[in-house]
Amino acid sequence: MAEPAQNGAMPASKEGGGGAGAGAAYVRVISSDELRAHAAADDLWISISGDVYDVTAWLLRHPGGDLPLLTLAGQDATDAFAAYHPPSVRPLLRRFFVGRLSDYKVSPASADFRRLLAHISSAGLFDRVGPTPIVQVAGMLLLFCAALYCVIACASPWAHLLAGGLIGFVWIQSGWMGHDSGHHRITGHAALDRILQVLSGNCLTGLGIAWWKFNHNTHHIACNSLDHDPDLQHMPLFAVSSKLFGLWSYFYERTLVFDAASKLFISYQHWSFYPVMCIARINLLAQSAFFLLSKRKVPQRWLEIAGVTAFWVWYPLLVSCLPNWPERVAFVLASFVITGIQHVQFCLNHFSSEVYVGPPKGNDWFEKQTAGTLDIQCSPWMDWFHGGLQFQIEHHLFPRLPRCHHRQVAPFVRDLCKKHGLPYAAASFWEANVLTWKTLRAAALQARKATSGAAPKNLIWEAVNTHG
């Protein structure tokens, strides 16, 4: 980096790719202290590759939502930006340029991460999605048609129960498709991706893709931050750490109440975890509906609502085709219980990993993502079951990378972790369940010893606001 000029300016940066205009000889010099002073919603700066940008006006227009920007406000966001955006986005930063950091530094782990990211990009792996989306769509159609046949053409109660299970498997695969399409283009066409999102997500499962993106983008940026990551904020039913008791949630903008009722629930959470996961779909449906009807900015709100409405037409209609109420209840429970497998999978990747309080720091992206995630070891023929999340560490480091390349990239990530003395946690599906159970049990024992507050004012509302 060139030495700052005496008047507080310095030569324009070429590294950032979007700094001062081509004709500018000097740019403003900004210290990290000054950068940190601009960390509010009405005054928001971030740094990327040493260049500082005022993104205040972009906050509400950011396609990934405002929370990722707010979480990294006043910090270096280079690694998070590079992980989530293709290089073609960098020129768009020019209009937000403010100056150049005078004390810009890159940690050894981040430098290696950026080199690996550049290598993956130059190899074209981000652009090749493989046959997975086509196979998924074909499989979902086959399972859905089989479920329809079992309900409409079969009189056996066992066939009707099987139909409910098949719908559950359809929802699982739809969840993987929605997850993939939310991170990268699975068809190569943005409009077609959007259609698949709404059809496979909103219409088929009743979960709005806009709500999922709002949650999931924040989770990725603040992975395993107790007060910022919504995927760890399950009070009053579950808590992975006693630090959650009474903690302020920056995502839900409320205190995670630890009262007599939540103390009771959490004290036995290691026993209630799997039963609750069997019906966790109810909460996701409620969360999605509340989000779409909220005052938050929802892209294409009416399209999202129309898609969710379609679900609430076809699913109850299909249930009504069953001959009696016991079979209808069994059908719904079967579909929810089977989908509960996926809800368990979501928890296994993070519940037993390292947690912390506070926002993530932009310059420790590699360290935080590896420490807060757990890979699931499985044979390649079981990849369909885990939907790509068995390589959770690789997915968190490279969220735009199609799942078909995770196995290829994993050895490089393991080598980097070993080189920098960082954890690379991996366990079998069974071992991951055991680790999760032990984490829940440890927090349950802490809850029994903790002092609870007053009785809850509205337990139903607290339970509905439990994510996941």
Mean pLDDT of 123-147: 93
Mean pLDDT of 422-440: 96
pLDDT digits (tens, 9 = 90+) for 4-51: 333 345 544 444 455 544 445 578 999 999 999 999 999 999 999 999
Residue 458 pLDDT > 90, yes or no?
Answer: no
**How much is the pLDDT for 182?**
86
**How much is the pLDDT for 2?**
36
**How much is the pLDDT for 19?**
55
Torsion of CA 227, 230, 231, 237, to 10 degrees: 80
Mean pLDDT of 411-419: 96
At 335, is the pLDDT very low, low, confident or very high (cuts 50, 70, 90)?
A: very high
The answer to whether the beta carbons of residues 47 and 101 sit under 8 Å apart is yes
The answer to whether the beta carbons of residues 241 and 444 sit under 8 Å apart is no
Of 100, 56, 109, the residue nearest 366 (C-alpha): 109
Residue 96 pLDDT > 70, yes or no?
Answer: yes
Residue 468 pLDDT > 60, yes or no?
Answer: no
Ordered domains of the chain (ranges, CATH): 1-94 (3.10.120.10), 132-352+431-464 (no CATH)
Mean pLDDT of 127-150: 93
Q: How far apart are the first and last CA of the chain?
A: 46
Q: 425-429 contacts: CB < 8 A, separation 24 or more?
A: 425/353, 425/373, 425/374, 425/375, 425/393, 426/374, 426/375, 426/376, 426/377, 427/374, 427/375, 427/376, 427/377, 428/376, 428/377, 428/378, 429/348, 429/376, 429/377, 429/378
- Comparing 5-14, 77-86, 417-426, the range with the smallest average pLDDT is 5-14
Mean pLDDT of 148-169: 97
Q: 54-61 contacts: CB < 8 A, separation 24 or more?
A: 54/96, 54/98, 55/96, 57/96, 58/96, 60/297
Residue 85 pLDDT > 70, yes or no?
Answer: yes
Residue 189 pLDDT > 90, yes or no?
Answer: no
Residue 97 pLDDT > 50, yes or no?
Answer: yes
Instruction: Pick 431 or 22 by higher pLDDT.
Output: 431
CA distance 181 to 179: 6
Percent of the chain with pLDDT over 70: 91
Task: Read off the pTM.
Answer: 0.88
Average pLDDT for the chain? 89
Residue 363 pLDDT > 80, yes or no?
Answer: no
pLDDT digits (tens, 9 = 90+) for 197-239: 999 999 999 999 999 999 999 999 999 999 999 999 999 999 9
pLDDT digits (tens, 9 = 90+) for 245-292: 999 999 999 999 999 999 999 999 999 999 999 999 999 999 999 999
Residue 390 pLDDT > 50, yes or no?
Answer: yes
Mean pLDDT of 311-335: 97
**How much is the pLDDT for 27?**
81
